[in-house]
Chain A
Amino acid sequence: MATIPAGTLYRGRVGMWSWVLHRITGVGIFFFLLVHILDTALVRVSPEAYNVVIESYKTPIVGVAELGLVGAILFHGLNGLRVIAVDFWSKGTKFQALMFWAVMAITIVLVAAFTPVHLARVFGE
């Protein structure tokens, strides 16, 4: 008896979602890196030019966005280590889902610890 296929979404569970997140965070970090090299290059123009642009990093909106950037870097770096473990460690594939949750847990804990410290500076006087 023929059964109706249950949709075409690839059900790769956390293995798939970690891959999706790795791509999205990677692209985001890449474009930030382009901007960050250009803004740092302003030190070669003049102290005033650099200071004016770097002040925008201390504004409330960019300050909050930096938490997202730090979170993206943490996830991408830690998940990269997970990818290396899957590739080179004989038990990598067995523990890949557990390692994904460890990556998420460490990322959330470190962002949670950094958030009050950073926001106190961004919103303080």
Chain B
Amino acid sequence: MAVIIETPNSPRTKKQANWEKYGWLFMRVSGPLLIVLVFTHLISNLVVGEGIKAIDFAFVAGKWADPFWQVWDLAMLWLAMIHGTNGMRTIVNDYAEHETVRKSLITILWAVCGLLVLLGTLVIFTFDPCPAGAAVELLPSFCPVN
């Protein structure tokens, strides 16, 4: 199937919502938000304290005991996945030569995005910092000693 490229200076003729424009705008709104979210994430996890050496189950449990970090990580998850998937979609649109390949890749991209956003959201909100039967030394200090 041939791809029809409109003359760049011709006015928009389609009557539907301009999804390309909203996608373009989303990248420019989510980008600066992600800079704040991701760099705070990197500083708190890799720079302060013992950095990467301190990261284990108890570290994550300690962070998610605070709703602040739950909301922080949730916002980062959603914005980063949609921003990244939309960026990958742009690249697929640039390089995929066959229409069926292009459409298939974009469908796979959004399916993966949906699955990982759902998985991550469920993990953040159903997470148990003190799972029964787990070794006490692996758990955060606020867990009751069984």
Contacts and interface: CB of A to CB of B under 8 A. Distances in A.
B31 A77 contact: yes
A23 B119 CA distance: 26
A81 B32 CA distance: 7
A57 B55 CA distance: 9
A112 to B, nearest CB: 14
Interface in B88-104: 88, 91
B40 to A, nearest CB: 12
Contact of B131 (A47, A80, A114, A122): A47
Contacts of B39: 77
B52 interface: yes
A81 B81 contact: no
B42 interface: yes
B57 A43 contact: yes
Nearest to B134: A47
Contacts of A87: 28
Contact of B138 (A34, A48, A73): A48
A46 interface: yes
A11 interface: no
B57 A81 contact: no
A50 interface: yes
Contacts, number: 104
Main secondary structure of the interface of B (DSSP, over half): helix
A81 B35 contact: yes
B72 interface: no
A30 interface: yes
Given A33-B80, A51-B57, 5 more contacts: A26-B84, A43-B60, A66-B52, A70-B46, A80-B27
Interface of A: 23, 26-27, 29-30, 33-34, 37-38, 40-41, 43-44, 46-48, 50-51, 54, 57-58, 63, 66, 70, 73, 77, 80-81, 83-84, 87-88, 114, 117-118, 121-122, 124
The 3 A-B residue pairs with the shortest CB-CB distance, nearest first, are A47-B57, A47-B138, A30-B84
Interface of B: 27-28, 31-32, 34-35, 38-39, 42, 46-47, 50-53, 55-58, 60-61, 77, 80-81, 84-85, 87-88, 91, 112, 116, 119-120, 122-123, 126-127, 131, 134-135, 138-139
